[in-house]
Amino acid sequence: MTGFIRLAVKNLARHRTRSILTLFGIAASVAVLFSILSFNKGFDKGLSRELARTGIHFMVVPSGCAHEVASLVLHGSIIPKFLDTSVMDILKRQEGIGLMTPILVAQLPNPEQGKIDLIYGVEMAALRALKPSWEIDGSVPASDNEILLGAEVAGHASIKKGDSITYPQVNTTFRVAGIVKKTGSQDDAFIYMSISKAQELLKKPSGATAIGVKVEKPEAMAAIIDQLNEKVPGIQIITMNQVMNSIGNLAASAKVLSLSIALIAIFISAVGVMNSILMAVFERTQEIGMMRAIGASRGDIFRIVLLETTGLTLVGGIIGVVMAGIGNDIIETFVRAFMPYVPSGDVVSFEPALAAASLAFTVIIGLLSGIYPAWKASTINPIEAIKG
């Protein structure tokens, strides 16, 4: 077997330029396939991670589109409708609810820094329970005149714990009680304040964008939602799983399209490999005839040619996986520029299992694309080949 491998490598080296170009085609298509598979897996993991960080089981929102809710939860988008917080009186009487808080998301112009700040009003007493994974440099605001900054907001303006932020248009100055250490999620982009202060600034004394609810027993969540839907008209209840499915469906078409493009690229590369090896077989017809004449069997010739295609695709696949691993950041930047929504944090990362699957797929492609050239070579008549 070692002799066959050595012979296959020698044959590939004889047509170095052609082999390198074929190798590059395989490497590029495998790199695309591996990157897309990594992205799809990272997307699902990132989405689950972001929803888990919300710290709630479901949201009570004004009747409308569930996609708006997804935007609220994951991007902090502004929804024009407001929910009256009097709904909470009914929620408080519902058994099985462990925690609930009104959430008010809004934009607030910051003339001093010439930008628009995203404010997130929430009951500060519930913040630790809602965001147990947060690490805060400082403390949770204890009064309406204190705020908590996301890491991105604080870093962008070089704001430190204890500094002040003034909004002259609403005649309000806040003291920064603490800064949330970087989470890698949308949480980094908000300014957190008490719900009562946010309502005052927006002149919505009983308004909320949503009410976040955490139940005591997740297995009882479906029953609780059914009961609330009967008791409270004019609301919509969206679970975090529904939000995840909604966003997943939005991204599904883009995933299918990108995977289809990768598979087409792999198919074109396989045809290129077949064509390259077939040309080599035709050029070596006399040589193969001589090999048959001195004792090589049809099986031996078949094996040598098949080793050439498999070796070429395997090496191309390894190079492709390495290229994709090195270019993770570039690929992620490119994908983020075109996808309507991508979870925060690293989405494209090196997954050994996916790398192994990509290489296994490459070997199968190499075997399939080598069957015809190998069969063609094995059927060469030695006498006719030597005669030329």
Residues 109-161: tens digit of each pLDDT: 888 778 888 888 988 888 887 787 788 999 999 989 999 999 888 888 888 88
Distance from C-alpha of 348 to C-alpha of 42, rounded to nearest angstrom: 6
- How far is Cα 179 from Cα 138, in angstroms, rounded to an integer? 6
Neighbouring residues of 33: CB distance < 8 A, sequence distance ≥ 6: 262, 263, 265, 266, 320, 358, 361
Strand stretches in 169-301, DSSP E:
172-180, 190-194, 207-208, 210-215, 235-239
Higher per-residue confidence, 168 vs 335: 168
CA distance 75 to 195: 19
CB 147 within 8 A of CB 191: yes
Q: What pLDDT is recorded for position 388? A: 62
**In a 3-state reduction of DSSP, which class is residue 110?**
strand
User: Exposure of 276 by Cβ count < 10 A (0-12 exposed, 13-18 middle, 19+ buried)?
Assistant: buried
Q: Which residues contact 282 (CB under 8 A, 6 or more apart)?
A: none
What local confidence, expressed as pLDDT, does residue 90 receive? 83
Q: What is the pLDDT of residue 147?
A: 93
Phi then psi for 20, rounded to 5 degrees? -65, -40
Please give the Cα distance from 266 to 120 (Å, whole number): 47
pLDDT in tens, 206-227: 888 888 888 888 778 888 888 8
pLDDT in tens, 171-211: 889 999 999 988 767 788 899 999 999 888 888 888 888 88
Please tell me the distance from the alpha carbon of residue 302 to that of residue 225, in angstroms, as a whole number.
Answer: 66
Regarding predicted confidence, which is higher, 13 or 247?
A: 13
For residue 102, give the nearest of 194, 221, 238, 228 by alpha carbon.
194
Span 221-248, mean pLDDT? 79
Strands 235-239 and 58-62: antiparallel
Most confident of 233-237, 247-251, 342-346: 233-237
CA atoms within 13 A on the CB side of 163: 13
Q: At 346, which helix (H) or strand (E)? A: none
Max CA distance (Å), the chain: 99
